[in-house]
Amino acid sequence: MKKETPILTDTFGRAHTYLRISLIERCNLRCTYCMPEQGVPLSPRSHLMTYEEIFTMAQLFVKHGVTKIRLTGGEPLIRKDFPTILQKLSTLPVALSITTNAVIIDKHIDSLKQYGVASLNVSLDSLNREKFKQITLRDDFETVYKNIHLLIQEEFKVKLNVVVMKGVNDDEIIDFIRLTERLPITVRFIEFMPFDGNKWNKDKLVSYAEIMNRVEAVYSKEQIIRLQDAANDTSKNYKISGSKGSFAVISSVTNPFCDSCNRLRLTANGRLKNCLFSAAESDLLTALRAGNPIEEIIQKAVQAKLAVRGGMDTQEKLEEPKLHTQNRSMITIGG
């Protein structure tokens, strides 16, 4: 008798145990690499998943093997029922985490602790107030920086996500690494990725190799310690000897990690994306609201996952603007 393939395992044998759920398409910042200048057309509120629907979807994915759920946005904390969503998901046997810009994280410290969130990814692309304002179009640097220190003080595991862009913030790579010398955080440098409306081009890209060249120009080989990467890790991890923290590089563009990918993404309007770079989406919410089973839709979506970056398996395809505009803007995917 033929053994049935688990619905979250694709044709390449990749088992998907990590679900990222976008709670909302809106954000209280306007980061230029994430949101197009003209903004994005938002889904009507009635088209977004309710907290009950989020929980029902999450339950099903957990039943089929998901062990980690990350809540994203937009900015997940601006959703008014965020604490309720957190409370419901905390009843599932999963590790819960959040990606946030930390502008209002101080208001949620108690809820995060109560419902078992120990790890947070904080998006922070500059340590300079004026540059932060240029990137985000908001003057919230002091608030964010203060809240990062509050999270550390409250003993959360904090990772800073830094999207590195040439001529914008690439001169701050060493400043961020020096931050890890005195703070118990992980700074993750992320290669600038192409999405609809973010004016990506390869000239703005600061590659993994370039980032490491910057590091090696300041620190000796003996000081740069290569750390063991976790299973299915998207990042290549390092530490400067004697530091309280560490740093990493996520090289989605120049050195993708697709062969070990275990991630699926559920958008705020209930569509399943099997890859961050793929334009293909599968509508789960319509079927759920109609009372129809969604396992078959999920399995077909997972089985359709391509080997590398949603089919952009060459540099030429990656640099083709037409392929970028077929996908969503980052803000409506959830990272």
Cis, bond preceding 197 (omega within 30 deg of 0): no
Backbone angles phi and psi of 59, in degrees to 5: -55, -45
CATH topology of domain 18-332: TIM Barrel (3.20.20)
- What is residue 42's predicted lDDT score, i.e. its pLDDT? 77
Q: Say which residues have a Cβ less than 8 Å from residue 186's Cβ, sequence separation at least 6.
A: 158, 159, 160, 180, 237, 245, 246, 247, 248
Provide the mean pLDDT of the chain.
90
What distances in angstroms separate CA 72 from CA 183, 209, 253, one per listed residue?
A: 25, 29, 22
Instruction: Return d(Cα 224, Cα 227) in angstroms, integer.
Output: 9
Instruction: Return d(Cα 153, Cα 156) in angstroms, integer.
Output: 8
- What is residue 324's predicted lDDT score, i.e. its pLDDT? 52
Mind listing the pLDDT tens digit for each residue in 194-221?
Answer: 655 445 567 889 999 999 999 999 999 9
Q: Is 54 exposed, middle or buried (0-12, 13-18, 19+ CB in 10 A)?
A: buried
- What is residue 37's predicted lDDT score, i.e. its pLDDT? 67
- What is residue 333's predicted lDDT score, i.e. its pLDDT? 65
How many CB atoms neighbour CB 95 within 10 A? 14
209's enclosing H/E stretch is helix 208-216
- Percent pLDDT > 70 in the chain is 88
In the numeric block, the tokens 């957190």 are attached to 86
- What is residue 75's predicted lDDT score, i.e. its pLDDT? 96
- What is residue 2's predicted lDDT score, i.e. its pLDDT? 47
Running along the chain, 335 residues long, what does each successive block of 10 average in pLDDT?
Answer: 76 96 92 72 88 98 98 95 98 98 97 97 97 95 98 98 95 98 98 65 88 98 96 93 97 85 96 89 97 97 91 69 56 61
Structure tokens at 153: 């003080």
